[in-house]
Amino acid sequence: MLKGIDPLLNADVLQALRAMGHGDDLIIADTNFPSDSVARQTALGRVLRIDAPAARVVKAVLSLYPLDTFVDDSAARMEIVGKPDEIPAVQKEVQKEIDAAEGKSWPMVPVERYAFYERAKQAYCVIQTGERRFYGCFAFRKGVVPPDAE
């Protein structure tokens, strides 16, 4: 245990988050996402795991992870097939965590299912959660941490 770091963030996840650079993508996926096969194609090359609901994982990650302010798609959600405008409960819960972490409204952009898979393959890494609800899949583009004010 470490002070100030969410205990859900295990050593493998912390190492990956630290190693990522500006513009790298992080995928947080539900239990049905093909995390292992997709993660093999990422920069990290293996799947990471946090066995907790998606919103709880997002809260832990965003406690340390800055979102990219230079792009419009730094927070994205997988669209429901055939219902691109529908937002299920799991995505609403994650949206609340994003807004809380950023201190303002930060809407997720929708990404079509197969386009999401392609984005995930280009990501730095994939964290598979214990989320069992469908469409609990999200992409977060890493931003920067500014230097301390002098």
Domains of the chain from N-terminus onward = 10-139 (3.40.1650.10)
Q: What's the pLDDT score for residue 110?
A: 97
Catalytic residue among 24, 25, 30, 68: 68
Catalytic residue among 65, 117, 124, 135: 117
Collapse the DSSP code of 139 into the 3-class scheme (helix H, G, I; strand E, B; otherwise coil) and give the result: strand
pTM for this prediction: 0.95
Cα 14 to Cα 17, 63, 93, 120, 129: the distances in Å are 5, 12, 23, 19, 15
Residue type, 46: R
Asked if 36 is an active-site residue, the reply is no
Asked if 24 is an active-site residue, the reply is no
Collapse the DSSP code of 95 into the 3-class scheme (helix H, G, I; strand E, B; otherwise coil) and give the result: helix
Q: Please write the tens of the pLDDT for every residue from 76-126.
A: 999 999 999 999 999 999 999 999 999 999 999 999 999 999 999 999 999
Asked if 117 is an active-site residue, the reply is yes
